[in-house]
Amino acid sequence: MAARGHVQDPNDRRLRPIYDYLDNGNNKMAIQQADKLLKKHKDLHCAKVLKAIGLQRTGKQDEAYALAQEVAALEPTDDNSLQALTILYREMHRPELVTKLYEAAVKKVPNSEEYHSHLFMAYARVGEYKKMQQAGMALYKIVPKNPYYFWSVMSLIMQSISAQDENLSKTMFLPLAERMVEKMVKEDKIEAEAEVELYYMILERLEKYKEALDVVRGKLGEKLTSELQSRENKCMAMYKKLCRWPECNALSRRLLLKNSDDWQFYITYFDSVFQLIDESWTPPAEEEHSLEGEVHYSIEQAVKFIEERIMEVSKSSRPLRGPYLAKLELIRRLRYRGCNDEYKLGDPEELMFQYFKKFGDKPCCFTDLKVFVDLLPSSQYTKFISQLLEVIPLSATAESEIALPADIKALQQHLCVVQLSRLLGIYHAMDKKEKLMVVQELMLRYRHGLEFGKSCLKTELQFSDYYCLLAVHLLLDLWLEGEETAVWQCLALLEEGLSHSPSNAQFKLLLIRIYCRLGAFEPVAELYSSLDAKHIQHDTIGYLLTRYAESLGHYAAASQSCNFALRFFHSNQKDTSEYIIQAYKYGAFEKIPEFIAFRNRLNSSLHFAQVRTERMLLDLLLEANISTSLEESIKSMSLSPEEDDIPWKDLRDNRDLTVLFNWDPKDRDISEEHRKLSLEEETMWLRIRSLTLRLVSGLPTLSHTIQPKNSEKTAENGVSSKIDTIRSLLQQLEAAVDSGKKFLEQKIQYPVLGPPPTRMAGFFSNGSCQCQTSLFYLVSDIYELDTNGLEDSAEIQERIGNSFKSLVERLTDLFNKCKGDLIEVRDGTLKTHPNLLENLVFFVETISIALWVSSYCDSVLRPFKSNLQKKKKKKKESSVAMPPVFTHFLDYVTELQTLTSNVIDHIKGLEIILTALKLEELSLKDTLLLQEEKKFTKTVQGKVQSSYHHSVQEIGELLKKRLDTIKKLKI
């Protein structure tokens, strides 16, 4: 904002200090300076706006808005005021006000190119495509520059993309855009590459592939130069759409002759060869084979072509991987068609062996071969691995019996073989003792490999890190098979690895997953922040954090992690508008639909919906009826039981479930089925949570005084419709719970590194679900009592009394499921019980809902009681019978108080046990552990202990606050 260049205008000189204060974040001084200036120069509009910016940034939004509207009403046309108002409205997230501002400015200064282009960009921010088209044409009339004309064309395309009716898009918007561009083509006014790209985009969307191909191959196509092979790629795309396989084949062949390492063209080459074979295509006798030259239409030609490529690269000084992998790809395709032997391409095992000899020292060798291991018969796996090991130059040293690599190349080769062994399932077939031997060997190799990375910077990874990761994967197998000590060894090895390679994200991610499975969230927050997740990663890997923070009782960390994610999602709206504007300015038209699709994908992100819902529930849990009333809390969140802002039909699962490296065979790896089931489970759980939130938000709406039995009045007040909303939400909750239970009957087990399961199973099994549902049914009964009055409602009162009793029993059952040691020492090893922690968290949540419902009961029963007491005084009788509902309620509140006190005492007991737990006495007697490992084992066990202690403290603090609210519930 401060970069304002050299100016003569005295007003600029006067405003300079205010700009400086704002730029430096000194908003109070900016406001004072603006006030001073306005005393001398009342009509200096810009000073008013700058003051408003200062007010906005100090949290006085209403004052800022009033000041801004004062200036906007004057319809200013000076550049300073307009720019400042634009900045202010952007900070207020009110881009629609900028459009009004420039509409007025354009009316007053109709020939200003600058204001017209600002108006166009203002429309772009709010997605007003029709008005953008008109603004673009108005600009072109004032200043006939090509970009402005094509802004208008692009706005037509955007109208076609956003049109609900596809027919309208194809018959009106796109043909109009096409005619507008054709006019420029005929007049020979096409100047820039972006304009040709736009023409191509229109034809492609109209499915006029033949015309699009002619554009790319014609004179206009010569302008497509900014991207490498841009013309060829576009031609290829059109040939595929037109099913012109001869051209596809000839073009990919020609491009492979230029660069025999370009994998995408091998795929097209093979696709087209087999398409031509299936169509029994033969070349025409007289003419050229195709527009693009010679065509290969038989397997023999394809085999010969690949062999020639291999011969060619074998002579070059820099070996290329493409041709060798293409040979394996061809074998795979021929096998799939059931005709491999005739063409004698060689034995895949031998080819892979030769490939390893050439490229085994490259880290990519494993990922290259991974794709083709299914060409090997399973009986050959062990032989294949032994064959690879024989060619690695390893030498035994005096200190160790194991032969170790002498340089980094040999280490990379050996690592590749170890990864392949894991992928082929050789390690999975071992028994416990063999697995432990392998872990020891891998860790020895890891520590030896650190020698080669002594000069590595902190930000670089150690060459031998994968050895450590593979050892941890083996230990995870053992842990899942019931070996309790293995998990502590996993953590110790990862912490050791991280101490040598502090930037290794894989170590951190795996530590996060294991700590969370053990129920320890405290170390996770630090690990996640050291990952330094950027931008879109808050959506793709944020679930690792938000899934566990609250459920393990770390409320403060949960608030923080939700804030991180929400900040990203909310800024996405603003940022995407800026990207779109830049794309218009620089003519990157094909990016605009991509940006909009990106924004929509983030807005309908599953994680976004989850974080939003959980954040609001968490805020209510921590604040409602503690620091603010439930009604105020719900009002500040603009929550309403009728509104559901989750796009259920369009929910997108953007989680990256393969972010953790994995070398498991296909049958143990995460499958497409797992992804589908996980999304289904997450959506069900989100529905339950969202309905719970909406039901809670409906409670304050019922707490208005009601004229009993006067149904017309109540309908007017709109309260009877509110109870209908609550009842309808309750039915939906019942349905969601039923489908959740059915889903859980499938007893799905995700792979250990696959998607984490939701909290749904615990919610059902510990009884929280039944408690919460019956609490909402109680609300319906209390409402009925409120409408019918006390006189003839004996049946309702009895029903309410029974509900109170069964609720206390259910809550006591839930408390019983929280009992037990969170961490216990068994046979010298530590065992954690995260499920007890999760049950405690559910208990706190359920008790909170019980209290909110009790407050509603209290608000209904209190007026009844005071009326009864007035009657008592009038009749001067001491024996006006108290209706039973009062005693029921008082008993219920007393029992709630006792139960909560018991839970608080239980938590104090847990704290004492956790503090007294002497980890030093744990016998790390396992002689297999080195001194180094013992040190790290102690560290991780200390972290887990401290985390549990922290969780219990936070839960205890919150329950004490809730106990205080119970004590106030005396009618």
Rounded Cα–Cα distance for residues 615 and 448 (Å): 47
DSSP 819-878: -S-SEEEETTEEEE-HHHHHHHHHHHHHHHHHHHHHHHHHHHHHHHHHHHHHHHHHHT-S
DSSP 303-344: HHHHHHHHHHHHHSSS--SHHHHHHHHHHHHHHHTT--GGG-
Which of the four pLDDT bands, split at 50, 70 and 90, describes residue 716?
very low
CA distance from start to end of the chain? 60
% residues pLDDT > 70 (the chain) = 94
- Model pLDDT for residues 59-107, shown as the tens digit of each residue: 888 899 999 999 899 898 888 899 999 999 988 888 899 999 999 999 9
* 3-class secondary structure, 395: strand
Q: Which two tokens stand for residue 699?
A: 């409670």
- Model pLDDT for residues 551-567, shown as the tens digit of each residue: 999 999 999 999 889 99
- Model pLDDT for residues 179-216, shown as the tens digit of each residue: 999 999 999 999 899 999 999 999 999 999 999 999 99
Rounded average pLDDT over 297-321: 91
Which of the four pLDDT bands, split at 50, 70 and 90, describes residue 4?
very low
* Identity of residue 43: D
| Residue whose pair of structure tokens reads 């072509």 in the numeric block | 305
- Model pLDDT for residues 498-540, shown as the tens digit of each residue: 999 999 999 999 999 999 999 999 999 999 999 998 889 999 9
- Let me know how long the chain is: 971
* Nearest one of 888, 921, 866 to 802, comparing CA atoms: 888
Phi, psi of 829 (to 5 degrees): -120, 160
- Model pLDDT for residues 794-809, shown as the tens digit of each residue: 888 889 999 999 999 9
Residue pair 196/220 in contact by the 8 Å Cβ criterion: yes
Q: Which helix (H) or strand (E) holds 254?
A: helix 245-258
Residue pair 952/913 in contact by the 8 Å Cβ criterion: no
Rounded Cα–Cα distance for residues 452 and 446 (Å): 11
Q: Which two tokens stand for residue 80?
A: 């300073």
* Identity of residue 856: Y
- Model pLDDT for residues 424-456, shown as the tens digit of each residue: 999 999 999 999 999 999 999 999 999 999 988
> 247-261, 469-483, 727-741, 930-944: lowest mean pLDDT where?
930-944
Residue pair 939/495 in contact by the 8 Å Cβ criterion: yes
Residue pair 833/824 in contact by the 8 Å Cβ criterion: yes
- Model pLDDT for residues 579-588, shown as the tens digit of each residue: 999 999 998 9
- Model pLDDT for residues 604-648, shown as the tens digit of each residue: 999 999 999 999 999 999 998 888 888 989 988 888 899 998 999
pLDDT at 287: 75
Neighbours of 261 (CB within 10 A): 17
Q: Which two tokens stand for residue 858?
A: 């209290």
The pLDDT of residue 280 is above 60: yes
The pLDDT of residue 336 is above 70: yes
Q: Which two tokens stand for residue 650?
A: 């369009």
Q: Which two tokens stand for residue 36?
A: 């001073």
pLDDT at 399: 66
The pLDDT of residue 589 is above 80: yes
Indicate the Cα dihedral angle 672, 675, 677, 679, nearest 10°. Answer: -140
Across-strand partners of 605? 652
Q: Which residue has the higher pLDDT, 713 or 453?
A: 453
* 3-class secondary structure, 824: strand
Q: Which two tokens stand for residue 554?
A: 């770390």
The pLDDT of residue 926 is above 80: no
DSSP strand pairing (829-832 vs 823-826): antiparallel
Which of the four pLDDT bands, split at 50, 70 and 90, describes residue 868?
confident
Which of the four pLDDT bands, split at 50, 70 and 90, describes residue 398?
low
Residue pair 838/762 in contact by the 8 Å Cβ criterion: yes
Neighbours of 703 (CB within 10 A): 16
Between helix 931-967 and helix 505-518 the angle, nearest 10°, is 50
Rounded Cα–Cα distance for residues 16 and 9 (Å): 11
Which of the four pLDDT bands, split at 50, 70 and 90, describes residue 715?
very low
Most confident of 13-22, 291-300, 311-320, 519-528: 519-528
The pLDDT of residue 713 is above 50: no
* 3-class secondary structure, 47: helix
Rounded Cα–Cα distance for residues 104 and 130 (Å): 18
> 158-167, 565-574, 690-699, 924-933: lowest mean pLDDT where?
924-933
Average pLDDT score, the chain: 89
